[in-house]
Amino acid sequence: MSTAPTELETVIFTREEAVATITMNRPERRNALNRALDRDLRAALDAVADDDAVRAVVLRGAGPGFCAGADLTVLQDAADPDDIYNHIMTRYGPIVEHLVTMPKPTLAAVNGMAAGAGCALALACDLRVMADDAHLMMAFSNIGFVPDSGASWLFVRQIGYSRAFELAAEATPIPAERCLDLGLTNRVVPADGLQDATATWAHSLAQRPTLALGLTKRALHAAQEQSLDATLETEARLQMEAVQSHDHREGVQAFLEKRDPEFEGR
């Protein structure tokens, strides 16, 4: 059963067939993260994670930019270190963990700038489509901060330590084409075709065997941390789950009957 989140002030939630789109909607602040947007993002992600009718999720930003990171107006006064710690752990952490671990594909449609925590949100998605005039930016050091919101974990796994440190230390915008060269984005498309290109990809993925894709995410994340022996065991255990699924049986039957499979995501 599909249930849309209610009472969202700073997020627009839509669903078309099996694809949910979560749009950060503070365009006047370039979708900078504040308490309301943190809350609404988490509520929307809670809803789609538990909704079997949703088989792919698109994260995007309204207006001229994807997400400018934290709304720095909250740091005009001296920030309490304990408050900063709690802010990251209780507000940003759960959002990033949701995107990384959600058992279905997540895609970021990156327009304009994705900076700081906004860059982390984009990198936390499984796939990224960037407009040709978009940029990622590890902006933290420009205000004497350390990468947070999982950005260091995500960045170093995407491009390795040396490049990750270079881009975090210099904190300059990374154009879309360089992001493509570095492996920070999957596709670069004309800006006016960004939303259509991302939606088309999301709908294609939503027709794939969703349970198997979720297990694939778990396998790949585990493989980054484990030995070969441990990875082989993880794969075997995940395959035990996959072999019991409807979509596995449908895939085998379709192969034997020489027809396209009709996956149901279960």
Q: Are 30 and 208 in contact (CB under 8 A)?
A: no
Number of C-beta neighbours around residue 29 at 10 A: 18
Residues sharing a CB contact under 8 Å with residue 229, sequence separation 6 or more, in sequence order? none
Query: Interior CA angle at 208 toward 119 and 200, to 5°?
Result: 55
Indicate the average pLDDT of the chain: 94
25 close to 205: Cβ distance less than 8 angstroms: no
143 shares a domain with 67: yes
Check residue 72 and give its pLDDT: 80
Task: Please identify, among 206, 221, 244, the residue that sits at the C-terminal boundary of a domain.
Answer: 206
Express each pLDDT in 68-81 by its tens digit.
999 887 665 557 88
Check residue 41 and give its pLDDT.
97
Give alpha helix (H) positions in 27-144: 35-49, 81-87, 93-101, 117-124
Report the distance separating Cα 139 and Cα 72, nearest Å. 12
Last residue of a domain, one of 206, 223, 239: 206
Residue 125: CB partners within 8 Å, gap ≥ 6?
59, 99, 106, 107, 108
Question: In this structure, are 186 and 220 located in the same domain?
Answer: no
Q: Reply yes or no on whether the pLDDT at 11 is more than 70.
A: yes
**Which residues are registered as beta bridge partners of 130?**
110, 188
Q: What domain count does the chain have?
A: 2
70 and 157 together in one domain: yes
Beta-bridged to residue 20, according to DSSP, are: 15, 57
CB atoms within 10 A of CB 225: 10
Residues 178 and 55 in one domain: yes
246 falls within a domain:
yes
Q: Is position 153 within any domain? A: yes
SS (H, E, C) 124-178: HCCEEEEECCCEEECHHHHHCCCCCCCHHHHHHHHHCHHHHHHHHHHCCCEEHHH
Indicate whether 119 and 201 sit together in one domain.
yes
196 with 237, same domain: the answer is no
Q: Render pLDDT for 131-190 as a digit per residue (tens, 0 to 9).
A: 999 999 999 999 999 999 999 999 999 999 999 999 999 999 999 999 999 999 999 999
Query: pTM surpassing 0.85?
Result: yes
- Residue span of the structural domain in which 216 resides: 210-256
Whether 38 shows a pLDDT value over 80: the answer reads yes
140, 194: one domain: yes
For residues 248 and 160, membership in a common domain is answered with no
Indicate whether 225 and 181 sit together in one domain.
no
Domain check: are 200 and 234 in the same one?
A: no
Q: What are 101's two structure tokens? A: 């671990």
Q: Say which CATH number the domain at 244 has.
A: 1.10.12
